[in-house]
Structure 1
Amino acid sequence: MTDPNPYPTSDYGRNTNRADVLIVGAGISGMTTAIDMIRKGNGRNFIIVERGNQVGGTWNDQRYPGCCCDVWSHLYSLSFEPNPNWTREYPGQEEILDYLIDVAHKYQLYKHIRFNTSVEEARWDGATNTWKTRIARLGSKDSEFGKEYTVTSDFLVSGVGQLNVPKYPDIKGLESFQGKTMHSSRWDWDYDLRDKKIGIIGNGATAAQIIPEIAKVCKNLTVFQRTPNWVVPRDDKPISPVTQAIYKYVPFVRRRYRAACMDFRESFFEIIFDVNSPVHDAMMSASKDHLAAQLPGEKYAELREKLQPHYEVGCKRVIITDDYFPTFARENVVLETSPITEITSNGVAVEGDRHHDFDLLVLATGFKTTQFMYPIKIYGSNGRSIEDIWASGASAYLGMTVPSMPNFSMLYGPNTNLGHNSIILMIEAQSMYINALIKKVKAAKQQGGSLCIEPKPRVVQEYNNEIQAQLSKSTFADPNCNSWYKNEAGLITNNWSDTVVSYQKRTSSINWDEFDIQGEGNVDVGAKGKTSWPRVVEETQVSNTMILAGLATAAGAVAAGMLSRGTLREVVRH
């Protein structure tokens, strides 16, 4: 194929810094948005910038021992790109990353992605209705071409998510430790753990995956627990080659299994929003039974008490694992529940004048989840910063659009995280909604003009009041525990307030009356009414009983037809 632009130009390929859409982040959110641009007819005139060296987002960053997903593999994948070849019920980090790399190759995303690239600042230009985004080249060789440049785009999409920037604990003396320190999201595999004295600060979902793995090789391990977690069985197992073949060659079975996974996880919504529901009681009982079964008898009575939460299940992220509790029965593992007073040059001091010596400190302390766009500086209309808009806590209409931020959307934004189901389901809904906005902006450009679209402040405020009222009744709001779902003031900024299906339905149309729309040039800005599209329906629509009954009826009809023609006797005779 002859290249229409055989020589380098400023408006072609990797050399251009002008695009319809600039997407920040090449994780699942950014990739899905780009793919939907292609699938929905919005074209390929997009640029994706990524700080890392590969696609995958958090699944490229998280490489710690035991790293895996706590959602079933067949539910933690894009609906339009099913993977029949998952090898386990719960996928590991490397298998998820391989899947995402394959998807990126299939849709030829790599030619649009600029790796080792950081967004420093984005400013809305009201004169041209475009975003001017300042980009820094992080790679040493790339920076020789120029350390910074600016991308001009008609639309700006954030796909940086909530699990992006590591959060380091605010503990006195952290910088004074002379041993090795590593954050769980920045794991150093060159460091040999064998025969090392290790302390791990944090006991959430990440720590629960790391602890069983490193306990197998280290000399001793001390786990610093501030608050215990609700833990339920995982029951992970390999998916046999035969089952993989069935999923591949009989896709109905795979779709049916995914729907069952969806149904099961959706049912857990009641755990969070109805503490009197049978499901809530069943979850608490399952966790207590799990703890008792894995650390049985009087020998572990004191340990069980330390590991038993005393707050409503769901307030913090529920941990799904089969090997966390048994690790504390190992002779080389200690659970430390006394508060840390300071970190010293050679270890950690706790209340009661006790001290633990370490060679390595692992910080499984999560991310700066409530800051969302941090550390990117974003300035919208009239130069207003997103920090100013979010001074009282991050919020966005449907978790995607923000007042005073024209032609801007985010995925996995404020109040879109889930405590019960797969985030992929939310991301797909958001991507379709955002692409509808992009289509409107592109249509104006094709008419020779430009559009400026942003949600009305009143609409955003009413929406935020609505979901906060719902969230205040949930276990997320339990005052007896702290979690990464809340900001320092206790406002729940991260989690969605309803089911996935409810969110999908709500985001399957755009009511243009809820947006301020202004135009330049020969464009019609009088958008009214709604633009709708079919949502991705993945929950079970027809029960197994009805399917079997239908098959039986069909089989009976076929048999009757054969009998009427005298063929059934011949079949039986032969």
Structure 2
Amino acid sequence: MASNTLYSDVVCIGAGFAGICVGAQLQVQLGVENFTIYECGSTFGGTWFWNQYPGAACDVPAVLYSLSFAPKPDWSSMYCPYPEILEYLLGVARKYDLERRTKFRTAIKSARWDEEKRRWLLVARNIDTDIEFTHECKILISGTGQHGTPRTMADLEAANCELFEGPVVHAARWDHSVDLHGKRVVVVGNGCTAAQIVPAIADRVNSVVQLSRSRHWLVPDQRLPHQGYMRFFASRLPFFQKFFRLFIAFFLEIQWPYFTKSFLGHLMRSHFQKEATEYVRKMAPKKYHKILIPDFPFGCKRRVLDENGQYAAVLHKPNVALHEENIVSFSKNAVHTKQGNTYPADVLILATGFRGNDGGLAPLPTAFFKTNDRGFSYSILRIYGRASIPLDEYWRKEFGGPAAYETVAVNGFPNYFIIFGPNSNTGHTSAIIGIENGVNLRAYHDKVQAKLKKTVFGVNCGAWYMHGGHNSSTYPWSAITRWWHCTFPQWRDWVLV
């Protein structure tokens, strides 16, 4: 090992929920103190550091969207805004003294397995100075998640992007210097993010035109007892918060069958579709009903939670318009759609989500971002296993997309583990459960894909997690099944050396 090469027993890439969870549990569960976390942002938070758009909030109850070993009894509301979630993560990082073990504003460019040394050699780059250095470790953990690489203007496949002169802001890389007051704003997207942005900016802009490229089921939020009572009991009864968390987990878990193509699943989807349809017809303007009521099964794509009914309400405002149209070209201060319409725009907001199946998963997302006048430039993190095989190439040739044994391990890449990796996502409960659960591959992959085809996740509804018929994002079983497999591993499937 070269004298200027750093060394740690464990290196984790990413300092969001996954990285913080790894750092805490390495100390508490395994007694490991010699570890390093790399993060391209300037602080902890991951998704909640980068996604600071107006109205950003979690659409999962906060009591469950948190780490089980770091409960917070005083969440301000059922669905918390991003500043509160970010502050929570910073608090957990402080509690476990992670800052001194974390290198911020540093991107990992590549990681290569050395068979002779049985170590990983990482090439890192300081984003501010462009200085590169190397770091060796025995165990490499990817905690970059599935929402690392935003879809940019290039993903719109529209002509003349360079002609548009106004600011272009992606929700996942929000530019707080852009003034929206009195501006004509075009929002591209119709998912969870857009449904939070539009109500948050409607009162300060001249106009908002939202262009929906595909439909989503819009559902009312599920309000439980007043949060004030929850805080009161949680602060006075030690067992209460654990009980309430278990209650919420159970409440969400029993909804799992609606993803299956069973008779029960059909009945449950029919119920949820009826509820969502009635909600839209009651709350949203009639002229938008067709756009807001999909023709595909409930659960095929992530539902859009309308917290406090704010999205349906904002569609009644005279300065807000919703259209189901695709942008085909840009001009100096307007966007032009396939349907032949032109919409003036001073600012373009991209609520277009992330690259999920073609690089947005674990080891393939952008290692770092640098904003420029048209969006982002990025560097792909390369992982090389035995025989210097690139991970993205291995995935593409062997499986047609990302795949991992029990969502965490990949054959041919020793001591490499993915937190919230391929097929670890859920459509019905908290992603944090999947992250905590994550602390013969071909057979497992085929089993996962076959099971997905028996659920609504296999329906072609334009979901972000589908690419060429391959789903590398969602988990085809319940969260309880995932917990069981991670708690009681099948050691016969592992090679220990």
Q: Please confirm whether the aligned pair reaches a TM-score higher than 0.5, indicating the same fold.
A: yes
Distance 1:507 1:352 in 2: 49
Three-state SS of the structure 2 residue aligned to 1:516 is coil
> Is the Cα contact below 8 Å between 1:88 and 1:238 reproduced in 2?
no
Q: Distance in 1 between matches of 2:226 and 2:83?
A: 16
- Tell me whether 1:341 sits opposite 2:320 in the alignment: no
Aligned to 1:313: 298
* Distance in structure 2 (CA, Å) of the matches to 1:173 and 1:249: 60
Per-residue deviation, 1:341: 2.2
Question: How many angstroms apart in 2 are the aligned matches of 1:86 and 1:96?
Answer: 9
Give the superposition deviation at 1:41.
2.6
C-alpha contact 1:393 1:493 (8 A) present in aligned 2:
yes
Distance 1:240-1:307 versus aligned 2 partners, 3 A rule:
closer
| Correspondence for 1:131 | 120
Q: Output one character per residue of 1:486-533: Cα deviation in whole Å (capped at 9) or x when no partner.
A: 12x12111000010000100111333321234xxxxxxx4xxxxxxxx
RMSD, aligned CA: 1.8
**Bigger Cα displacement from structure 2, 166-175 vs 306-315:** 166-175
The whole-number CA distance in structure 2 between the counterparts of 1:476 and 1:71 is 20
Do the aligned residues in 1 keep the contact of 2:218 with 2:292 (CA within 8 Å)? no
Q: Which residue of 2 aligns with 1:366?
A: 353
For residues 121 and 419 of structure 2, the distance between their equivalents in structure 1, rounded to whole angstroms, comes to: 20
Does 2:31 align with 1:51?
no
Distance in structure 1 (CA, Å) of the matches to 2:64 and 2:229 = 19
CA shift, 1:340, in A, is 2.3
With over 3 angstroms needed to count, the CA separation of the structure-2 counterparts of 1:493 and 1:41, relative to structure 1, is: closer
Task: Answer yes or no: is the 8 Å Cα contact 1:176–1:344 preserved in 2.
Answer: yes
Residue of structure 2 equivalent to 1:211: 198
Separation in structure 2 between the aligned mates of residue 117 and residue 236 of structure 1, nearest angstrom: 41
Q: Is residue 393 of structure 1 aligned with residue 393 of structure 2?
A: no
1:507 aligned partner: 486
What's the offset of the Cα at 1:415?
Answer: 0.4
Per the alignment, residue 287 of structure 1 pairs with: 276
For residues 416-495 of structure 1, what are the structure 2 equivalents within 5 Å? 416-431=424-439, 459-479=440-460, 481-487=461-467, 489-495=468-474
Cα deviations across residues 367-423 of structure 1 (Å, max 9, x unaligned)?
121222221011011111102111111100011101110110001110001100001
> What secondary structure does 2:271 align onto?
helix
Return the alpha-carbon distance in structure 1 between the equivalents of residues 98 and 45 of structure 2: 12
Residue in structure 1 matched with residue 77 of structure 2 by the alignment: 88
1:177-216 residue CA offsets vs partner (Å, 9 max, x unmatched): 1111111111111211111000011111111111111112
User: 1:528 maps to what in 2?
Assistant: none
- Distance between the aligned counterparts of 1:475 and 1:237, measured in 2? 28
Contact 2:5 2:136 in 1 (8 A): no
Letter of the structure 1 residue corresponding to residue 149 of structure 2: V
Alpha-carbon offset, residue 253 of structure 1: 2.0
CA distance in structure 2 between the partners assigned to 1:338 and 1:383 by the alignment: 45
Q: Which digits, 9 at most, give the CA deviation of each residue in 1:136-159, with x for residues without a partner?
A: 01124xx5xxx0110000010000
Task: Tell me if 1:40 matches 2:29.
Answer: yes
In 1, the alpha carbon distance for the partners of 2:246 and 2:488 equals 23
Distance in 2 (CA, whole Å) between partners of 1:201 and 1:238 is 35
Report the CA distance shift for 1:312/1:240 in structure 2 as closer, same or farther (over 3 A).
closer
Match of 2:147, SS state, is: coil
Aligned pairs (5 A) from 1:142-541: 147-168=131-152, 169=155, 170-235=157-222, 240-241=227-228, 243-274=230-261, 276-277=263-264, 278-295=267-284, 300-321=285-306, 322-370=309-357, 371=359, 372=361, 373-374=363-364, 375-391=380-396, 392-431=400-439, 459-479=440-460, 481-487=461-467, 489-517=468-496, 525=497
CA contact (8 A) 1:87 1:239 kept: no
Code of the residue aligned with 1:125 in structure 2: it is D
SS for the counterpart of 1:248 is helix
* 1:98 matched residue in structure 2: 87
Distance in 2 between residues matched to 1:20 and 1:103, nearest whole Å: 22
Q: Aligned AA for 2:391?
A: I
Shift of 1:173: 2.1
Q: Pick which of 73-82 and 242-251 moved more.
A: 242-251
CA–CA separation in structure 2 for the residues paired with 1:58 and 1:239: 28
CA contact (8 A) 2:335 2:344 kept: yes
Residue aligned with 1:507, SS:
helix
Greater alpha carbon shift after TM alignment, 375-384 vs 161-170: 161-170
Contact 1:230 1:308 in 2 (8 A): yes
> What is the CA–CA distance in structure 2 between the aligned matches of 1:238 and 1:473, rounded to whole Å?
36
Query: Is 2:59 aligned against 1:70?
Result: yes
Worse-matched range after superposition: 253-262 or 218-227: 253-262
- 1:208 to 1:219, Cα distance in 2 relative to 1, 3 A: same
Letter in 1 for 2:304: I
Distance apart, 1:227 and its partner CA: 1.5
Q: Distance in 2 between matches of 1:235 and 1:503?
A: 25
Single out whichever of 300-309 and 116-125 deviates more from structure 2. 300-309
In structure 2, the residue matched to 1:108 is: 97
May I ask how many residue pairs the two structures share in their alignment?
A: 468
Which amino acid in structure 1 is aligned with residue 256 of structure 2? F
Deviation digits for residues 267-315 of structure 1, max 9, x if unmatched? Answer: 12112114643322221111011101203xxxx4332122211101111
Q: Any conservation in 2 of the 1:274–1:280 contact (CA below 8 Å)? A: no
- The letter of the residue matching 1:195 is G
Tell me the secondary structure at the aligned position of residue 311 of structure 1: coil
For the residues of structure 1 that align with 2:87 and 2:169, how far apart are their CA atoms?
Answer: 25
Of the two structures, which has the highest relative contact order with CA contacts closer than 8 Å and spacing of 6 or more?
A: 2
1:29 to 2:18 alignment? yes
User: Residues 336-373 of structure 1: CA distance to partner in whole angstroms, max 9, x if unpaired?
Assistant: 21332212222111234321110000011111212222
1:451-492 CA deviation, whole Å, 9 max, x = no partner? Answer: xxxxxxxx111111111111001111112x1111112x1211
State, as a whole percentage, how many aligned pairs show the same letter: 30
Question: Matched residues in 2 for 1:250 and 1:462: separation?
Answer: 47
**Amino acid across the alignment from 1:49:** Y
The letter of the residue matching 1:388 is E
Q: CA deviation at 1:239?
A: 5.3
2 CA distance for matches of 1:235 and 1:327? 20
Maintained 8 Å contact 1:416/1:496: yes
C-alpha distance 263-242 of structure 1, shift in aligned 2 (>3 A): closer
User: Which ranges in structure 1 are unaligned for 5 or more consecutive residues?
Assistant: 1-9, 432-458, 518-524, 526-574
CA distance in 2, matches of 1:240, 1:486: 37
